[in-house]
Amino acid sequence: MLLVNQSPFFNGSTTRLVSARLQDNPTRLVVADGSSVPGGLPDLQPIVQFSIETRLSSATASELLPLLKANDALGLVNRIETLTEQGVIRP
């Protein structure tokens, strides 16, 4: 949640936690055949299942382009640049 609030891609002031609950960890630990673990396999900590609600920021595609490039979202960057070149979106 804290990182979503700070993201330039979302409107942090509208981000809210809708629900959160602890649940058993679905990860299963497995050892190789014939192997043993002294003391047995450890119990895994529960995980938090959560749901958040937020809105996209009002920043333009060209404002977000450097951030998308920095995050290696190259496919999205290429599509935005192509749409800009074709005049579909304005810089």
In order of 23, 32, 46, 52, 82, the CA distances from 89 in angstroms are 44, 55, 46, 30, 9
Is the pTM higher than 0.95? The answer reads no
Q: At what angle do helices 74-85 and 61-70 cross, to 10 degrees?
A: 150
The answer, yes or no, to whether residue 1 has pLDDT greater than 70, is no
- Average pLDDT on 63-78 reads 91
Quote the tokens at residue 83.
């749409």
Stretch 53-75: mean pLDDT: 90
38 confidence band (pLDDT: 50, 70, 90) = confident
Domain boundaries, the chain: 1-57, 59-91
Chain segment 16-25, per-residue pLDDT in tens: 999 999 999 9
